Amino acid sequence: MLKRCGCGFGYVAFTSLFADIARIAAAAEHNPLAVRDPHFTPRAKRVIFLFMHGGPSHVDTFDYKPLLTRDAGKSLPSGFVKGFLDPNAKLAPSPFEFKPSGQSGLQISEIFPEISKCADDLCLIRSMNTNGQDHTQAILTLNTGSESQVRPSMGAWILYGLGTENQNLPGFVTISPSPMTGGAQNYGSAFLPAVYQGTPIGQANQPLTEAQIRHIKSGLPMSLERQQLDFVQELNRAQLAKTGPDDQLDGVIESYELAFRMQTEAPEVTDISKESSETRSMYGVDQTPTNDFARECLLARRLVEKGVRFVQVNHAFKWDSHQDLETQHRRNASEVDQPIAALLRDLKSRGMLKDTLVIWGGEFGRTPTAQIIGKGDKFGRDHNPRGFTMWLAGGGAKDGFSYGETDDYGFQAVKDKVHMHDLHATILHLLGLNHEKLTFRYAGRDFRLTDVRGNVVKAIVA
């Protein structure tokens, strides 16, 4: 049909597109997950992303704003870009006490007593800003670099650029991902070959004790399963020879082979019962309220230790505190504080923190003004993409360091602004990848994680 219609121009474009895909496949030497050399010497070899789904309030966690207490009950001064803000909203002080922590003296909220003890390992970025006022837009920007278009996820880009060290495990794993706010698109591969998409373990609000990699066991003897797989793959390759390059079919072939290999190693790696009682206790396994997130963090350490390149650890959809922020943030922090601190200490004791980049944060922050949903409700805070905090640890990021500032009330970034594209560029840089060179040709142009923006924040690189 493409040959006959429009003087054949559609067919010309079609064949050109497949030629690009064939070139990429050839460059990977028929193993798209093979380890690749970075563009330059990396500081980090792997990433653990601790995603606080919902948007933690920076002014109640890592961005101390004493003027909120002094000016409590007042409106934002004139000159602020109020935009989506309720014009009647009043400034609200944090209900939590902040204290200088570690030798670095970083101001951290009382709701993170254990993370505070790791302050000298943290690099706080207090001038983050992003696109998207609602959760889906901001989360897609965080995970894929685009708030509206279907684009490969950050983990998929990193796996595409570097490959993975363990061919018996997926190179990109997401633990307890949410089906909401973008769903599988947040760990998908979009137009990259399907083999680079993330492998989910469990899903949000499902106890991790019940979570597993789907279809990891077939019930057949391995020898019989190998025969069955060989037959299916023979049919797949015959189809591939007939149709020409097909990235989707290539991805199916590779995923089948990976799934078969995973049966030998994945069950053991995901079994945290093999950890010592001391380690399990340090993370908070089988304790209330840390048990679930503790299992996620411990599993993340086991995965990266075995060569998985990128692991995303998801803390449900709990941080969207539009009301009763004090209760909700205190509860959320109590679930993640001990496990995160244990993860940092564990990586450090094993000599892995220096080349493992740990990232903490949500899709945006919260407003410094109070949001009252109903009569008599305790105050919450609205979404705020104009200024918020994320932090890095290990992997070549400066430790005990704070970069950038929001204004006196924490509403918007005003000094050394870091857009989400800049953060992506910096993460790739720490992994030895030039964000402008990590590209994939699709639909007639080269795409990249940072699209046409992004600058490496060299000031936070150790």
Query: Which of 177-200 are b and which e, b meaning 16 or more Cβ less than 10 Å from the residue's Cβ?
Result: bbeebbeebbbbbbbbbbbbbbbb
What percent of the chain stands above pLDDT 90?
A: 69
With beta carbons less than 8 A apart as the criterion, state whether 417 and 126 touch: no
* pLDDT tens digits, one per residue of 140-162: 999 999 998 999 999 999 999 99
Which residue carries 């048990």 as its tokens? 291
Query: Which of 13-41 are b and which e, b meaning 16 or more Cβ less than 10 Å from the residue's Cβ?
Result: eeeebeebbeebbeebeeebbeebebbee
User: Of the ranges 14-18, 124-128, 225-229, 282-286, which one carries the lowest mean pLDDT score?
Assistant: 14-18
* pLDDT tens digits, one per residue of 427-440: 999 999 999 999 99
State residue 36's pLDDT score: 95
State residue 76's pLDDT score: 83
State residue 26's pLDDT score: 43
Q: Tell me the mean pLDDT in the region 227-250.
A: 77
pTM attached to this predicted model:
0.86
pLDDT class for 24, splitting at 50, 70, 90? very low
pLDDT class for 394, splitting at 50, 70, 90? very high
The β-bridge relationship of strands 388-393 and 405-406 is unpaired
Residue 89: helix, strand or coil by DSSP?
Answer: coil
Domains of the chain: 37-209+277-460 (3.40.720.10)
**The token pair that represents 33 in the structure block:** 């997950």
* pLDDT tens digits, one per residue of 264-293: 667 788 889 889 999 999 999 999 999 999
* pLDDT tens digits, one per residue of 369-392: 999 877 767 999 999 999 999 999
